[in-house]
């Protein structure tokens, strides 16, 4: 890296290109080695520039979190996109417009919105793919694997409308984020794989054409067997974060983003440092780390990048613009207002969304917004 630290005046999200590219290469190579399609989720980085680093690894199909994000990446030349968010029929016209520019897959959990969407599809000439979202234990959205009648209803709706193509079943095992260690993540994942495979066996009337799509960074980082699945869609791995280190997905050396924050105050009675960098920059995500609830880990900064987390230093509280840091006596004595510290975020997806841009090798890269 080549960080122009003297020019940083306010909270700035730093992106280490070398670490990021290494993470992308590692996951792309793993997918090739394990024989599964790799459709990475771009909701973490939301960047046309980072997207090009994926292209260089042979990635041609992606996942996004919204229709507006699909538009952004279509404008960047991506033409095979899954929108991994339940169909919002208020966006039907925009989805139809975008379907003329790319192969789109949508996500459904109910037949009724899909029927309404199907009614307006007669104006397009390219089919829209449909995945049924299956709730395998995360309990956010989706049908259970036992909801046979509802699943059949969605499939029949696809058959009814020639411009809808039923592609298969998709899940997000987000409850792995509550797991700790490989064994627990494997148990959650294998249960999800079993449920999806059972659905495929029950509903695949063709020569095994239905797709089974899974995607969460802990499982995709740690598992070595996806043999019953067709596709993986991890997203957070591109940057990783403190939460992933606590889960066991990675080490802190693979975290590719760091928030540079100016020191603005010292509180000797509490051995606290206050930085310009709060909830509007980091989000208010927290994690239980070494017996404490923390909002980020503290690093030192240099022109070459950031250090490993400093011992006994962490973000203990956040308000809108303020970050309160508990630090060791040694670190406290070394810092003064005007100095810069680095904060490794608890959840890099939300930090990137909050910040809206990165500083990469001295250059600014904007995110989709």
pLDDT in tens, 172-194: 999 999 999 899 999 999 999 99
- Average pLDDT on 205-229 reads 91
Question: For residue 329, what pLDDT is reported?
Answer: 94
- The answer, yes or no, to whether residue 12 has pLDDT greater than 70, is yes
DSSP E strand boundaries for 44-102: 62-64, 80-86
Higher pLDDT, 84 or 369: 84
Comma-separated ranges of CATH 3.20.20.10 domains in the chain: 17-238
Q: Is 258 left (phi over 0), alpha (psi -120 to 50) or beta?
A: beta
DSSP 51-114: HHHHHTTT---EEESSHHHHHHHHHTT--EEEEEEE--GGGHHHHHHHHTTSEEEEEES-HHHH
- Average pLDDT on 100-129 reads 90
| Pick among 2.30.42.10, 1.10.3720.10, 2.40.37.20, 3.40.190.10: CATH of 5-13+256-366 | 2.40.37.20
Pairing, β 301-302 against β 287-289: unpaired
- Average pLDDT on 328-346 reads 97
Question: For residue 207, what pLDDT is reported?
Answer: 64
Comma-separated ranges of CATH 2.40.37.20 domains in the chain: 5-13+256-366
**Per-residue pLDDT band at 243 (split at 50, 70, 90):** very high
> How far is residue 64's CA from residue 50's CA, in Å, rounded to a whole number?
14
Question: For residue 208, what pLDDT is reported?
Answer: 67
- The answer, yes or no, to whether residue 333 has pLDDT greater than 90, is yes
pTM (2 decimals)?
0.96
Question: Angle at CA 8, nearest 5°, toward 7 and 10?
Answer: 145
Mean pLDDT score across all residues of the chain: 95
> How far is residue 29's CA from residue 294's CA, in Å, rounded to a whole number?
33
> Which range has the worst mean pLDDT, 39-53, 103-117, 355-369?
355-369
- Average pLDDT on 155-165 reads 93
**Per-residue pLDDT band at 247 (split at 50, 70, 90):** very high
For domain 17-238, the CATH class is alpha beta
């Amino acid at each position: 890296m080549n960080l122009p630290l003297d020019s940083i005046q306010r909270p700035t999200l730093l992106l280490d290109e070398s670490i990021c590219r290494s993470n992308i290469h590692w996951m792309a190579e793993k997918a090739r080695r394990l024989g599964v399609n790799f459709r990475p989720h771009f909701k973490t980085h939301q960047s046309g520039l980072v997207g090009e680093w994926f292209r260089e690894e042979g990635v041609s199909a992606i996942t996004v979190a919204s229709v507006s994000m699909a538009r952004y990446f279509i404008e960047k030349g991506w033409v095979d996109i899954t929108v991994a968010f339940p169909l919002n029929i208020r966006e039907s016209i925009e989805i139809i417009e975008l379907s003329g520019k790319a192969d789109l897959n949508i996500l459904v959990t109910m037949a009724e919105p899909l029927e309404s969407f199907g009614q307006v599809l007669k104006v397009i000439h390219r089919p829209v793919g449909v995945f049924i979202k299956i709730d395998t234990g995360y309990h956010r959205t989706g049908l259970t694997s036992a909801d046979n009648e509802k699943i059949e209803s969605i499939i029949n709706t696809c058959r009814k409308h020639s411009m809808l193509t039923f592609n298969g079943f998709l899940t997000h095992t987000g409850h792995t984020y509550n797991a700790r260690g490989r064994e627990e993540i494997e148990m959650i994942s294998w249960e999800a794989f079993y449920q999806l495979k059972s659905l495929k066996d029950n509903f695949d009337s063709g020569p095994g054409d239905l797709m089974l799509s899974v995607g969460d960074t802990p499982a995709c980082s740690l598992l070595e067997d996806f043999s019953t699945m067709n596709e993986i869609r991890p997203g957070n791995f591109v940057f990783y974060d403190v939460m992933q280190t606590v889960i066991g997905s990675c080490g802190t050396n693979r975290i590719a983003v760091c928030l540079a924050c100016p020191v603005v105050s010292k509180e000797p009675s509490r051995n606290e440092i206050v930085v310009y960098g709060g909830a509007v920059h980091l989000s208010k995500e927290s994690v239980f780390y070494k017996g404490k609830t923390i909002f980020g880990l503290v690093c030192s900064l240099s022109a070459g990048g950031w250090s490993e987390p400093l011992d006994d230093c962490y973000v203990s509280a956040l308000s809108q613009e303020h970050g309160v840091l508990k630090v060791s006596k040694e670190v406290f004595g070394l810092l003064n207002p005007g100095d810069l510290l680095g904060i490794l975020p608890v959840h890099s997806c939300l930090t990137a969304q909050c910040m809206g841009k990165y500083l990469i090798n001295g250059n600014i890269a904007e995110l989709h917004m």
